[in-house]
Structure 1
Amino acid sequence: MYQRKRRRPVSDINVVPYIDVMLVLLIIFMVTAPLITAGVNVDLPKADANPLAEDSKPPVVVSVTENYEYFVTDGNKKEGPMVPQELAAVVGAYLKVEPDRPVMVEGDGSVTYDAVVNLMVLLQKQGVESVGLMTDPAEE
């Protein structure tokens, strides 16, 4: 009589598909990570200034580009381009949520002094008590 052979269950887990998925995810993250950086590209003036304290809250950054476009950057969230009055209203809304957050102005080196001062006046009318100016470290 013919006897049937019983197969034993295999207790090994095939991890090859998981390795393939992880490799694909790694490649996707390596390609997309440089594209996620938020911010506006401005050529800051150089000055020997003190940096913000490490324990301070992250600032709301108001940017003016060389083409006089206005942006607001809050962490990784960038809004703009917008008109200066709209920008001041957006910053005012941020400060209603967190009144003690610092506000920094990031003006391109080729922007006129008048544009930066008018922006600071608009921010002051929105209730911003103190505005910092961003610079690049001076070369020695």
Structure 2
Amino acid sequence: MAGALLDSGSDGDDYAPLAEINVTPLVDVMLVLLIIFMVAAPLMMVGVPVDLPKTSAAKIGQPQKPVILTVDKAGTWSIDNGQILTPETAPAALQAAHQANPDAIVYVRGDRDVPYGKVMEAMGVVGQAGFAKVSLIA
């Protein structure tokens, strides 16, 4: 017993406490918890049986790769494949990208030091190329 006192063997008046931890209650609690989890685990995996109807809707396709237009510090534009664009060549390149993938999303990345007008000019060229979905990347 954890609170028992033992005779120290000297004069009979001194008793030293027994310094043992009784692990039996700990083992009992652990076994009870183990049994509870063993019973409860299969119940959590059981779902409600439902006979789902068939649908004629088309499956959702793979998400399309976005077009990324970058405006760097110097004000030069580049498209996602690294091709450097000028304001003169950008409309043709973006129209070609639009013809290749008309539903693509265009992300415009502007450097922190680029004036707002330059980024808006790039977004305008993207809109003129025919893209309907244009977003800014911060």
Structure 2 length normalisation: TM-score? 0.52
RMSD in angstroms over aligned alpha carbons? 1.3
5 Å-filtered alignment, 1:90-109, equals 90-109=93-112
The answer to whether the 8 A contact 2:103-2:131 is kept is no
What is the one-letter code of the residue matched to 2:110?
G
After superposition, give the CA deviation of every residue in 1:75-96 in whole Å (9 maximum; x if it has no partner). xx3201x212312321110110
CA distance in 1 between partners of 2:91 and 2:79 (Å): 9
The answer to whether the 8 A contact 1:102-1:131 is kept is yes
The count of corresponding residues between Structure 1 and Structure 2 is 77
User: Could you say which residue in structure 2 is the equivalent of 1:65?
Assistant: 72
- What is the aligned counterpart of 1:134 among 125, 134, 137? 137
Greater RCO (Cα-Cα under 8 Å, separation 6 or more): 1
1:56 CA displacement: 2.7
Structure 1 length normalisation: TM-score? 0.51
CA distance in 2 between partners of 1:60 and 1:93 (Å): 11
Which of structures 1 and 2 has the bigger CA Rg? 2
Structure 1 segments (4+ residues) deviating >2 Å = none
In the alignment, structure 1 residue 56 sits paired with structure 2 residue 63: yes
CA distance in 1 between partners of 2:100 and 2:65 (Å): 14
Q: Secondary structure of 2:88's partner? A: helix
User: Could you say which residue in structure 2 is the equivalent of 1:78?
Assistant: 82
5 Å-filtered alignment, 1:42-53, equals none
| Identical amino acids, percent of aligned pairs | 25
The answer to whether the 8 A contact 1:85-1:122 is kept is no
CA distance in 1 between partners of 2:132 and 2:89 (Å): 18
- Runs of 5+ unmatched residues, structure 1: 1-54, 136-140
- What is the aligned counterpart of 1:124 among 124, 127, 136? 127
CA distance in 1 between partners of 2:105 and 2:88 (Å): 19
CA distance in 2 between partners of 1:130 and 1:102 (Å): 5
Q: Secondary structure of 2:107's partner? A: strand
